[in-house]
């Protein structure tokens, strides 16, 4: 490569090398499961496919995790430095130098009509001074409002539902 005027070649891209550790399939399997982030009411799933842990955001949105310590992993193929550390039933996700996002392991419930039926009824919102009717239709939980019509309710986990605009996340308090 010829560089005129004694200019030096510089590289604008940096390549980071991640030092990985060996980990058995049995150990990798121990980290799999569903993890809930309470603050923003969302789930992440850790699955094992072809001896590789994958961080699943939903659908095909998934990233590989490589082991870098006994309980620590780095996500590869992303534009940030993202680490995932497992401690007991907690998963800490740290992006660059930010505070970690703490997710708690939970067991997802596949809602039957009986489970969804627990949410059927009339609910009043004092903030909005209006009522919503929750009902079952063809095995799906929905809500109805006279001005907004019918909307489907997504079951996220036990007592946490997603109702769409304007309801968004519904956290059920029993008792």
The per-residue pLDDT for range 67-84, each reduced to its tens digit, is: 999 999 999 999 999 999
- Within 10 angstroms of residue 14's Cβ, the number of other Cβ atoms is 5
Task: Region of 60 please: left (phi>0), alpha (psi -120 to 50) or beta.
Answer: alpha
Q: Which residues contact 33 (CB under 8 A, 6 or more apart)?
A: 45, 46, 105
CA torsion, points 38, 98, 45, 118, in degrees to nearest 10?
A: 10
For 2-6, 54-58, 160-164, which range has the lowest pLDDT when averaged over its residues? 2-6
pLDDT bracket for residue 166 (50, 70, 90): confident
- Is pLDDT above 60 for 3? no
- Is pLDDT above 50 for 1? no
Q: How far from 142 is each of 80, 113, 129, 160, CA to CA, in Å?
A: 39, 12, 20, 14
> Are the beta carbons of 78 and 57 closer than 8 angstroms?
no
How confident is the model over 120-162, as pLDDT tens digits? Answer: 999 988 888 999 999 999 999 999 999 999 999 999 999 999 8
> Are the beta carbons of 130 and 146 closer than 8 angstroms?
no
Type and span of the H or E element at 29: helix 25-29
**Measured between alpha carbons, how far is 39 from 41 in angstroms, rounded to an integer?**
6
**Measured between alpha carbons, how far is 2 from 151 in angstroms, rounded to an integer?**
66
Q: What is the pTM of this model?
A: 0.79
> Are the beta carbons of 43 and 36 closer than 8 angstroms?
yes
């Amino acid at each position: 490569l010829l560089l005129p005027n004694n200019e030096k070649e510089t590289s604008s891209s940096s390549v980071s090398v991640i030092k990985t550790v060996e980990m058995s399939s049995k150990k990798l399997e121990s980290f799999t499961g569903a993890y809930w982030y309470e603050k923003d009411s969302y789930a992440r799933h850790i699955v094992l496919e072809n001896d590789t842990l994958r961080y699943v955001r939903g659908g095909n949105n998934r990233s590989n995790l490589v082991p870098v310590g006994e309980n620590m992993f780095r996500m590869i193929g992303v534009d940030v430095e993202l680490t995932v550390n497992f401690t007991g039933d907690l998963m800490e996700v740290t992006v660059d130098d930010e505070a970690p996002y703490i997710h708690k392991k939970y067991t997802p419930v596949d809602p039957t009509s009986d489970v969804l039926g627990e949410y059927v009824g009339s609910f009043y919102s004092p903030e909005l001074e209006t009522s919503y009717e929750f009902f079952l239709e063809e095995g799906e939980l929905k809500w109805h409002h006279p001005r907004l019509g019918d909307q489907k309710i997504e079951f996220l986990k036990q007592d946490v539902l997603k109702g769409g605009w304007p309801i968004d996340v519904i956290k059920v308090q029993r008792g």
